[in-house]
């Protein structure tokens, strides 16, 4: 059994209330066996350095509270909320199969709210989740790519992004189109596609899904969009008035 000082989470309480926080259970004749919490904590440790915290605005989001409860009663959005609810109901199976969701629509229709709801449910289920607004994600990729103090910073960050149970990229296509952006996003999406890793994405569209999909192809490339469809299925449409005009607390 490793010494207590060598344990990376020795001072933390066991989330399952089984061991003493060391990740080990001492049995008969001083023979130790791993606690179930050890695998969970080590898995989370491997993805440190990625954004997995739900922004404070969205921490109280649920199916039972506005704006989601209002969206579920609205004829324009109820089928999308139903699809999201069905995905969450079978979250374990969907993540294991690498299934995802793609929410598309105009500004202020609740895409981000629903995305954060799925991410929140995944975190509550003990899954590893990365949550990124697209420009922030690309900025962090660029910073690790240009890092001079750690030669493997980019590879380590890329591995974390591709190994989490759920990668949520918000506002995909909002970044300025460059060859570098296209290649970075393709590498990330393709890696998760090949390894059957689930993705959740939101993207903007002003009128309909077909036009929105073509616009995204222009922004991030047809190869990436094709793989997103394979992972997430067809985009779920959310079109309507900007709810934030009337209620600023409603998410975009």
Strand ranges inside 120-242, DSSP E: 129-133, 166-170, 198-204, 236-238
Task: Indicate the SS3 state at residue 193.
Answer: helix
Q: What are 171-197's pLDDT values in tens digits?
A: 998 887 889 989 999 999 999 999 999
Strand ranges inside the chain, DSSP E: 24-26, 32-34, 101-105, 129-133, 166-170, 198-204, 236-238
pLDDT of 109 higher than 50? yes
Residue 228 CB partners (closer than 8 Å, separation 6+):
100, 102, 189, 199, 201
Rounded to the nearest angstrom, the gap between the alpha carbon of residue 91 and the centroid of all alpha carbons in its chain is 13
pLDDT at residue 231, as a whole number: 97
This prediction has a pTM of 0.77
The domain covering 47-245 belongs, at the CATH homologous superfamily level, to: P-loop containing nucleotide triphosphate hydrolases (3.40.50.300)
Say how far apart CA 187 and CA 190 lie, in whole Å.
Answer: 5
Say how far apart CA 69 and CA 96 lie, in whole Å.
Answer: 28
Question: What's the whole-number average pLDDT of the chain?
Answer: 82
Strand partners, 167: 130, 199
- Burial of residue 49, with CB atoms counted within 10 A of its CB: 0-12 exposed, 13-18 middle, 19 or more buried: middle
pLDDT at residue 82, as a whole number: 97
Say how far apart CA 140 and CA 136 lie, in whole Å.
Answer: 6
Domain ranges (residues) in the chain = 4-45, 47-245
pLDDT of 225 higher than 90? yes
pLDDT of 6 higher than 80? no
- Rounded to 10 deg, the angle between the 111-124 and 78-89 helix axes is 10
pLDDT of 134 higher than 60? yes
Q: Tokens standing for 119?
A: 């991410």
Q: What are 22-81's pLDDT values in tens digits?
A: 665 655 554 566 666 656 655 555 545 565 678 888 989 999 999 999 999 999 999 999
The residue that leads in pLDDT, 131 or 51, is 131
């Amino acid at each position: 059994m490793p010494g207590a000082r060598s344990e990376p989470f020795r001072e933390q309480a066991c989330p399952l209330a089984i061991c003493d926080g060391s990740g080990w259970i001492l049995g008969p004749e001083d023979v130790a066996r791993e606690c179930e919490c050890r695998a969970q904590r080590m898995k989370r440790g491997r993805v440190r350095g990625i954004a997995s915290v739900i922004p404070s605005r969205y921490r109280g989001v649920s199916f039972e509270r506005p704006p989601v409860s209002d969206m579920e009663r609205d004829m324009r959005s109820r089928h999308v909320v139903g699809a999201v609810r069905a995905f969450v109901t079978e979250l374990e199976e969907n993540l294991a199969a690498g299934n995802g969701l793609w929410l598309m629509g105009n500004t202020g229709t609740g895409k981000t709210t629903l995305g954060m709801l799925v991410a929140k449910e995944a975190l509550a289920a003990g899954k590893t989740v990365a949550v990124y607004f697209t420009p922030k994600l690309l900025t962090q990729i660029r910073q690790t790519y240009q890092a001079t103090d750690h030669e493997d910073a980019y590879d380590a960050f890329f591995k974390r992004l591709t190994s989490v149970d759920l990668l949520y990229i918000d506002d995909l296509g909002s970044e300025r189109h460059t060859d570098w952006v296209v290649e970075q996003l393709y590498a990330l999406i393709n890696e998760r596609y090949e390894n059957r890793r689930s993705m959740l994405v939101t993207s903007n569209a002003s009128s309909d899904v077909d036009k929105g999909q073509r616009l995204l192809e222009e922004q991030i490339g047809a190869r990436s969009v094709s793989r997103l469809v394979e992972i997430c299925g067809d985009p779920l449409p959310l079109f309507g008035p900007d709810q934030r005009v009337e209620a600023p607390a409603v998410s975009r």
